[in-house]
Chain A
């Protein structure tokens, strides 16, 4: 089965440090999404790309978050500087649009202390 691969699975870092999360989407999927999941807010869309072009990043704090897709096999989400309120599980998902369902990775659990 094709899968979305995310690394690292877990990350503990100190406030102020840079964090980079990586995602390998499913080959052939034209859209890649970054979501953040917390108990309070559920799944929040941070940014997404179609055919590697950024379409919308209005869901993320632009002063500290950045999302890129340098090639079709890699998407990155960077936080600099990280803050304790960024602690959450970050998911990457990919899909073929128009929507036929998203395939999610297993997530990166980020803890900022």
Chain B
């Protein structure tokens, strides 16, 4: 069974701080996706990384896929209250459904 471990589980920071959350597995994935979920809503896709070592930027968010395609990180620069939410990583292997981590719950305090 493929598992994705996300850390930390919970993170509470002040507005303007930087943070990094992690997504780790012992399995290799063909691609990895990051989603953000806000209260009362479903997860929304932020980015897909495909190549080992790939880095993608989305405004203040930087996503990296590990060289071995087993892990990923999300770095947020100068966090804002609007970044508050549950961040989920999900790994893809062929045509099988995505495997989701349990998420990192981020709270950014103004």
Contact = CB atoms under 8 A, between A and B. Distances in A.
A103 B45 contact: yes
A102 B101 contact: no
Interface residues of B, number: 19
A107 B48 CA distance: 23
Contacts of A100: 48
A62 to B, nearest CB: 18
Contacts of A65: none
A4 B44 CA distance: 12
B44 to A, nearest CB: 7
Interface residues of A, number: 21
Interface string B29-48: 00101000000111111001
A104 B94 CA distance: 20
B54 to A, nearest CB: 16
Interface of B: 31, 33, 40-45, 48, 88, 92, 94-95, 97-98, 100-103
